[in-house]
Amino acid sequence: MLTEDLNQPQREAVMYNEGPSLIIAGAGSGKTRVLTCKVAYLLHLGLAPHQILALTFTNKAAREMRERVALMVDAEQAKRLAMGTFHSVFARILRTEANLVGLKSDYTIYDTADSKNLIKSIVKEMSLDEKIYKANLVLSRISSAKNNFIVANLYAGSEHIKQDFLMQIPRVKDIYSTYVKRCMSANAVDFDDILLLTTQLFKEHPEVLEKYQNRFQFILVDEYQDTNLVQFLLIKSLAEKNHKVCVVGDDAQSIYAFRGANIENILKFSKNYPEAKLFKLERNYRSSRNIVAAAGSLIAKNRRQIPKNIFSEKEEGDKIKILPAYSDVEEALIVSNKIGDLKNRFGYDWKDFAVLYRTNAQSRLIEDTLRKRNIPYVIYGGLSFYQRKEVKDVLAYIRLILNTDDEEAFKRIINYPTRGIGDTTISKLSSTANLHHVSLFEVASNALNYALPVNVGTAAKLKSFVTLINELKAFESTMSLYDFAREILLRSNIPQTLNEENTTESESARENIEELLNSIRLFEDMGKEEGREGIKLSDFMAEVALLTDMDLDKNVETSRVTLMTIHSAKGLEFKNVFVTGLEESLFPSIHAMENDTELEEERRLLYVAITRSEEHCFLSYAKSRYRNGSLQYPSRSRFVDDIDPRYLEFPMDRNISQSKSIDFSKRDENFFNSFSKPSLPKHLVRIGDNSKPTANNNTNLSVKEGMRIEHERFGIGTITRIDDTPDGTRIYVDFETSGSRVLLLKFTKFKIIS
């Protein structure tokens, strides 16, 4: 019997097929199992495989569902199912009906790189400023319009045009129009066109729509909370005749608004389909009772949701542990120590652990501490911090300034940001440098002497680049490490370039560069505290190189701790989950703090994070964190207080209190804000007013061995030794979580506890 292993709500959801239905599948509630059984059940009822349309968001999900169905019914039937991603299914339909939308059936599908190249060409032909009309930005604007069913000839009258004017890119409407024409003349479509053109096809050719309405007798949609307007329209039009549509999803896990997902599609399903039946899969099979109850108490604070009561019948399990830290450095240390401790105590594999964070930039300190503890890890769906493009770009500038013979650094940044020096010129530089056995920088510095075969314009561009590097080189001996790195960024124009792109990717890149600056500031401050004289940027680069090269042997240890953003973690599960950075302006993000809709999505994001865990869940936050190049003192995230305290465990022996936060109207501006357009919103930073260690000169402090101190970044420790040196008094401190440190008293930021 196909449904014998299902619980009652699952069975009811599978067996009801008389009309529209919405299956709210809570986290860990067996959603894939229900979908699979429903497809098999429909086949059992007599529907032909090609009459069942099952839409997913990933090829992996479609493949897994098809494989499971094949185990339950005839394998040949499973092969013939109309099952796949939105794009794969509707691309086939569009290819069949291509002539009706002005295409040939052998049309080409442009990938993102193709689309960007075409946009670059159009921008150039229109004599627009390529630095303002960045391909990334323009493509994201066009994509947003298409996902909202705004075709090119309607764009000028849409809300999008107002935002374009605010962003100082009013000609997007013209680029969009030309882009569409060029795609059509090339018999090409992009990914968004596949859905947009199919929607248009159904709207303008009712006979075609009716053909597919008759073919697809039953429609299933997975992850319905992630659908956008065009996907909603496609499903509604196909289901209009037979009303046999079943959508599955969880409004509590709607976290992709930035990609165009519209939570209203699932919240208003019953309004759009008045006769629809609602099924709730509320039993969580993944997590312990405490974890499920804690997550439920959190998401209950959201106003806009479909009420549900998620429960677990597994063991009660441990409470969610709150891990406060004095600093982001200590937070990373606590997390890595806790991972090692749990592995030793319970015999977990490394793969049983996941560390989740709100932004990619947060991975740096966690990576550093895991490396130092020799704990193997993998960045899921991304690169290690120091391998990210924007970080490598900045490091390449530093490398070339420190060593102008660095050929790879030269090649990486000679035309980034774009300065009109192309591959042909670089090839000529390489040939000339090889001929004379000198560096590329040497040839660029003396193009005339080496008879470099370039025109006057290119020679001037090379000279300008050489001047930039030489001028920056001169600053090294006159500035602090942080100020020098900041000057490199200012003069390189990288911040301006990323701000002008103004995309989700460029925002992540900005965060990563700010974190790189933070790491330089931290390196410099720690050098002072440890009494290291004459710290140079080359010292920092040496440490980075060591961190980068300390990759653990992949052949030795295949099981690894997983590091990822929470967005990447959706759909995954781990025995032990650490959610880091639970601080105001970080999680929730500063952009969401003044917008109720965005704040609710941030809360859903934490709900997703917590419900990834099966046995143990930890929420950590730092009392101080380097952000924007300065040490800030954030308040603990409001989301921690949203969770019913019955399901939380706070440490009893940590001298870290949570106090009220206050708003300051003046603060150090975010480094990138100095390049932001006037239309971008400004936010206040919430800073905790709790007592913190002083940063005053400690030369006259009376310290002695055995004294307990509270350090601003390393927490509580005991002074084990005191030495007087020519540089000043050095204290040896054994910190509870940060290990042993040797610090120069006059620079050390601490207060005496006992």
How far is Cα 182 from Cα 125, in angstroms, rounded to an integer? 13
Distances (CA, A) of 627 to 394, 624, 670, 695, 714: 18, 9, 8, 18, 17
How far is Cα 481 from Cα 526, in angstroms, rounded to an integer? 12
Is 612 known to be catalytic?
A: yes
Query: 719 with 743: CB under 8 angstroms?
Result: no
How far is Cα 217 from Cα 39, in angstroms, rounded to an integer? 12
Tokens of 731: 């204290």
Backbone phi and psi for residue 56, each to the nearest 5 degrees, phi listed first: -125, 175
Query: 22 with 270: CB under 8 angstroms?
Result: yes
Q: Of the residues 12, 32, 80, 428, which is catalytic? A: 32
Helices 481-492 and 456-475: crossing angle in degrees, nearest 10, is: 160
Is 471 known to be catalytic?
A: no
Provide the 3-class DSSP secondary structure of residue 751. Answer: strand
Helices 389-402 and 504-529: crossing angle in degrees, nearest 10, is: 50
How far is Cα 395 from Cα 536, in angstroms, rounded to an integer? 14
How far is Cα 510 from Cα 516, in angstroms, rounded to an integer? 10
Is 483 known to be catalytic?
A: no
Q: Of the residues 486, 604, 612, 627, which is catalytic? A: 612
Query: 470 with 442: CB under 8 angstroms?
Result: no
Q: Of the residues 11, 31, 141, 686, which is catalytic? A: 31
The residue among 258, 246, 339, 254 whose CA lies nearest residue 608 is 254
Is 727 known to be catalytic?
A: no
Is 10 known to be catalytic?
A: no
Could you count the other beta carbons within 10 Å of the beta carbon of residue 630? 14
Is 313 known to be catalytic?
A: no
Position 723, amino acid = D
Provide the 3-class DSSP secondary structure of residue 220. Answer: strand
Tokens of 83: 């099952």
Query: 514 with 470: CB under 8 angstroms?
Result: no
Q: Of the residues 97, 222, 352, 511, which is catalytic? A: 222
Q: Of the residues 253, 362, 580, 748, which is catalytic? A: 253
The C-alpha torsion from 231 through 233 and 239 to 244, rounded to 10°, is 50
3-state SS of 108-166?
EEECHHHHHHHHHHHHHHCCCCCCCCCHHHHHHHHHHHHHCCCCHHHHHHCHHHHHHHH
Q: Of the residues 193, 223, 511, 712, which is catalytic? A: 223
Active site residues: 31-32, 222-223, 253, 612
